[in-house]
Amino acid sequence: MIRCIAIDDEPLALKQMTGYIEKTPFLELQEGFENALEAITWLQDHETDLMFVDINMPALSGMDFVKSLNHAPKVIFTTAYSEYALEGFRVDAVDYLLKPIGYPDFLKAAEKAQERFGPKSGEKSQVESDDNHLFIKSEYKILRINLSDILYIEGMREYVRIHIENQKPVMALMSMKKMEGFLPKARFMRVHRSYIVNLVKVNTIERNRIIFDKVYIPISEQYKEAFQVFLDKNFLV
C-alpha cells in the first residue's frame, strides 16, 4: 500500500481528495490537513509515501511547503490555477491535477505514483468465484461479495468498481473482460464497454438505458441485440 496524506484549505476539496484516496485499492489514507503547518508537525513523527497538496493555501503555500521539506515524500499537486504547472514539475512532482478534479484524473495520477514506487507498492487484486459469491483478494484482505447483492459493475481503466446493494462500492484491479469471465452468464450481462449488469436487478429501462435508482446505464449497439433477446424472454410487451 502507498501511504498518503492530503492537504487542502478548502474543507470540501479536502473531503473529496481523502474520499478518492480511501476508495483506491493501492492507496492508504493516513491523515487529511487543512493547512500545511499542521502537516509539517505531523511529518516530524510520521512517515508517508505520497502527498496530495493544494498549492494555493494561506500562511504557507503548497509549493513552499514541499520546498521546505528536507526529504519530501512524492507529491501530486492540486490547484485551480494552471499557471503553477511548470513550477510543480520543477520540484519533481509526480503529477499536477487541475480543479475540479474527477476521479478518473485522480486515478491516472495515482497510477503514475504507483509506477514510481515499483511493482511491490501494490499487489494486484485477484478474484475467485463459486456459484453464489465472488471472493476478491486485495492486499491482506479477502472480501466475499454475494452475487445476488451486486447491482452492476463499472469499468474504470485497469479497475472495476462493483456496485453492491446497500453497501459501498468495492474496487478491484482487473479488466472488465476478466471480471466478465468470473460471472455466471445466465445472471450477468455486459451491456456496454464500461458496464456489466445483474439481470435479476433490472427493473426499469428507459430510452435504451437501464436505470438503477439515479444511475442511467447505456446499452450500446454492440450489446443491444443480446440484451433484446433477454427482454423478449423475460418481459411481456
pLDDT in tens, 216-233: 999 999 999 999 999 888
**Of 192, 208, 104, nearest in space to 152 by CA:** 192
**Of 117, 59, 67, nearest in space to 90 by CA:** 67
Contact 88, 67 (CB under 8 A): no
Q: What is the mean pLDDT of residues 178-182?
A: 90
Read off the pLDDT band of 143 (50, 70, 90).
confident
* Weakest-pLDDT range from 70-79, 120-129, 164-173, 217-226: 120-129
- Count the Cβ atoms, other than its own, within 10 Å of residue 132: 10
Residues 6+ apart with CB under 8 A from 21: 4, 6, 27, 28, 29, 52
Q: How far is CA 116 from CA 26, 50, 113, 178, in A?
A: 13, 11, 5, 26
Q: What is the mean pLDDT of residues 94-117?
A: 90
- Count the Cβ atoms, other than its own, within 10 Å of residue 15: 13
Read off the pLDDT band of 117 (50, 70, 90).
confident
**φ/ψ (deg, to 5) at 53:** -125, 125
Read off the pLDDT band of 120 (50, 70, 90).
very low
Contact 112, 27 (CB under 8 A): no
Regarding pTM above 0.75, the answer is no
Q: What is the DSSP letter of 124?
A: P
Q: Is the dihedral of CA 103, 104, 107, 108 positive or negative?
A: negative
Q: What is the mean pLDDT of residues 149-174?
A: 87
**How far is residue 123 CA from its own chain's centroid?**
15
Buried b (16+ CB within 10 A) or exposed e, 189-227: bbbbebbbbbbebbeeeeeeebebeeeebebeeebeeeb
Domains of the chain with bracketed CATH: 2-117 (3.40.50.2300), 128-234 (2.40.50.1020)
Is pLDDT above 80 for 119? Answer: no
pLDDT, position 167: 87
Read off the pLDDT band of 65 (50, 70, 90).
very high
Is pLDDT above 70 for 176? Answer: yes
Read off the pLDDT band of 51 (50, 70, 90).
very high
Read off the pLDDT band of 123 (50, 70, 90).
very low
- Tally of CA atoms within 13 A in the half-sphere of 42 that contains its CB: 18
DSSP count for the chain of H helices, then E strands: 7, 16
Percent of the chain with pLDDT over 70: 90
Buried b (16+ CB within 10 A) or exposed e, 89-127: eeeebbbbbeeebeeeebbebbbebbeeeeeebbeebeb
Contact 163, 169 (CB under 8 A): yes
Helix (H, G, I), strand (E, B) or coil at 8: coil
Is pLDDT above 90 for 194? Answer: yes
